Amino acid sequence: MLIEFRVAIDPEIAALVTAQQRELREADGGLDGQATETHDGIRYLAVVVNGRAVACGGLQSLDAEIGEIKRMYVRPAYRGRGIARQLLAALEELAYQRGHSTIRLETGTYLPAAIGLYTSCGYQPIPTYGEYVGNPYSVCFAKRLPVPA
């Protein structure tokens, strides 16, 4: 397994984001407005197994202090192998390298596996923020990153 940078227009990243959005629409039971467009400025990491990207996640800077995890997704056939946990750690490291002291993310209330992953990795619930304010299906989390020595 390899974790590498990919550009947002990479065909494998685009395919993973499309699959994620399709799965979210199925999981949310047809809730209006749950799938959002890909944002500019996201730095993507891809998890590559046997030459194929099987997972992705992105980091978007909200400001100098805060980074936001976007588009975490692992293809169903590769779940249960710890890939999401390793990808999340790599995204946290990227945020740390970019000087962020806090990392935030949003997920759906209808995604208990995602919520379980984030809480088990030290993320704490926070009030909704930004585009998620007022969305009853959004739940947001944050984690303080270590202070540089």
- pLDDT value at residue 147: 74
For the stretch 56-96, pLDDT in tens is 999 999 999 999 999 999 999 999 999 999 999 999 999 99
For residues 67 and 98, give the distance between their C-alpha atoms in angstroms, rounded to a whole number: 9
Residue 4: C-alpha distances to residues 47, 52, 54, 83, 89 (Å)? 7, 12, 12, 13, 13
- pLDDT value at residue 146: 86
* Residue whose token pair is 């100098």: 64
For residues 11 and 20, give the distance between their C-alpha atoms in angstroms, rounded to a whole number: 14
**pLDDT for 37 beyond 50:** no
- Kindly state the average pLDDT of the residues 41-67: 95
Query: In which band, very low, low, confident or very high, does the pLDDT at 27 lie, cut at 50, 70 and 90?
Result: confident
For residues 52 and 12, give the distance between their C-alpha atoms in angstroms, rounded to a whole number: 8
